[in-house]
Amino acid sequence: MKHILKILALLVAISACWIGLLQASVIPESYTWLLPLYFIVSLGCYGVLMVGVGLMQFPTCPQEALLLHQDILEAKDFLKNKGVDVGSN
């Protein structure tokens, strides 16, 4: 619930800045109406960048892979003992 409150607070702050720019006429009105679109595009670019960075820095965990393989073998043995056909591997 706290996360959604942070998001809502951020949206309110951005909306207040946008309305303030509209009222103050600091930026020409033709540009001011495009600010939400610029914000959405920037947010999308940021999201794509963060996903790309996360994929480039994706950690490999050989110890966890071995543990997972052992769990799979244990599960296959358990199912074989119960009479379930789990394949030849």
Residue 53 lies in a domain: yes
First-to-last alpha carbon distance for the chain, in angstroms, is 46
pLDDT attached to residue 1: 60
As averages over each run of 10 residues, the pLDDT of the chain (89 residues) reads 80 83 73 76 87 83 89 92 78
Count of domains observed in the chain: 1
Residue 69 lies in a domain: yes
Give the contacts of 18 (CB within 8 A, at least 6 positions apart): 32, 35, 36
Question: Which domain does 22 fall in, by range?
Answer: 2-81
Helix (H, G, I), strand (E, B) or coil at 37: helix
Residue 58 lies in a domain: yes
pTM over 0.75: no
Residue 86 lies in a domain: no
Residue 26 lies in a domain: yes
pLDDT attached to residue 18: 77
pLDDT attached to residue 15: 83
